[in-house]
Amino acid sequence: MAKQFDVVVIGAGPGGYVAAIKCAQLGMKVACIESRETLGGTCLNVGCIPSKALLNASHKYDEAKNHLSKLGIEAKGISLDLKKMMTNKDTIVSDLTKGIAYLFKKNSIEWITGLASFTSNTEITIKNGKSTQNVIAKNFIIATGSNVTTLPNIKIDEERIVSSTGVLSLKEVPKHLVVMGGGYIGLEMASVWNRLGAKVSVVEFANKIVPAMDNDVSSELQKLLEKQGVQFYLNHKVIAATIDKKHVNVDVQALDGKTKTLSPNVFLVSIGRHPNTNNLNLAAANIALDEQGFIPVNKQYQTSISNIYAIGDVIGGMMLAHKAEDEGMAVAEILSGQKPHINYNAIPAVIYTHPEVACVGKTSEELSDSGVDIKSSKFPMSANSRAKANNDTNGFVKIITNAHTDQVLGIHIIASNAGAMIAEAALAMEYSASAEDIARTCHAHPTTSEALKEAALGAWSQSLHL
């Protein structure tokens, strides 16, 4: 006889496992289906967490080898043990996946391993190897995330031609790594392997890296990464990639039609992600996809079938773990009769290069194109006392406001700890703060967050330390 639940969540990534926990906390009987043997989805297993572990380790290696001497710290005989670095990464991932399993147990959530597919709008079949079981639920939450996107003429083998998954587990530092795509993931992986000794080239079709980013930040980040040794081919596209005995021959073409061949040891394809809806048999539940393959939902995250909800990457928008988490919480609250709201204009995004890049709200270009009369202010980290004391003065804070009302419309930060600094910016935007509100808020001294206050002062009145 099929097991019955109030809610069944399909997918145990950040959106799915948070939705499951919140539903259980609100008194529902919950099951969560996951095809992997571990919880946490792409983010925890082969995405956000392992990449940040490698970014942290590679940054420390680079600091010890190339930058500590100017602080009076002489470190000799610095060497890389890549196997140990990878083991540390794997341990971190393992500890965190076990942590989610503990939370499932604590909240009495039934974790079922296998591939789920709908047989109707109230029942799914779960296959795990040769075993099959059916589950019935009043409500379903689809949180199956996304997969890497590639080109039809490029075959990923995860050894020489790799995705964002394979590049996290290379067995040796490549002499030359070519990255296809100058987005968040591509730049982070370029940073990791560049620090560890690889020559790195990034091929980007657009005329700037991270095309949706504010132009001032994009330009500054490219300059800083170039100073670190990363080479960029902007306005170029990859037209073919073939493997020979020693290299991957990557043919790239410029806008003028001229082509050249790059010959790296490893070629990373990092051109985005697409929604993971394969094998769900959505037709059996009368759910159709849109033209891009996403699942359409209404403002309550309901699909075309009212008892089936969808969140995270499968519904489009910003493909970010924290966006999926907030949607997971929101659906749980909706199912319990509450009326939550997510302000999508106040969701921050971070690139974990060094320096980090973080932004929330609109860019100058977006606002100008919309005809909004804006005012902007930039405060350089070189004028911030804590950044100066840390010998880490690259970057700036940029605040964009409505020129007439002083309301903050966008905040863009490039700084060593921009990912932490952006939280205050997101809070300010969530509550429709003005630049004056931020400027009049007392900030501890000396901290890098004072740069945000100074930028706000500049937008509202006039910076003090510039």
Residue 245's pLDDT band, with cuts at 50, 70 and 90, is confident
Once rounded to an integer, what is the mean pLDDT over residues 412-417?
98
**pTM score, whole prediction:** 0.96
pLDDT of residue 463: 96
In order of 16, 185, 273, 298, the CA distances from 208 in angstroms are: 34, 15, 19, 34
Q: Which of 236, 274, 445, 465 is catalytic?
A: 445
Q: How far is CA 221 from the centre of its chain?
A: 17
Contact 384, 418 (CB under 8 A): no
Confidence check: pLDDT of 142 > 90: yes
Cα–Cα distance for residue pair 243/252, rounded to 1 Å: 15
Once rounded to an integer, what is the mean pLDDT over residues 161-185?
98
Q: How far is CA 389 from the centre of its chain?
A: 30
Once rounded to an integer, what is the mean pLDDT over residues 7-16?
98
Confidence check: pLDDT of 237 > 90: yes
pLDDT of residue 80: 98
Confidence check: pLDDT of 246 > 90: no
The yes-or-no answer on residue 236 being catalytic is no
pLDDT of residue 101: 98
Residue 136's pLDDT band, with cuts at 50, 70 and 90, is very high
Residue 71's pLDDT band, with cuts at 50, 70 and 90, is very high
Three-state DSSP state, 362? coil
Contact 350, 419 (CB under 8 A): yes
Q: For the chain, what is the mean pLDDT? A: 97
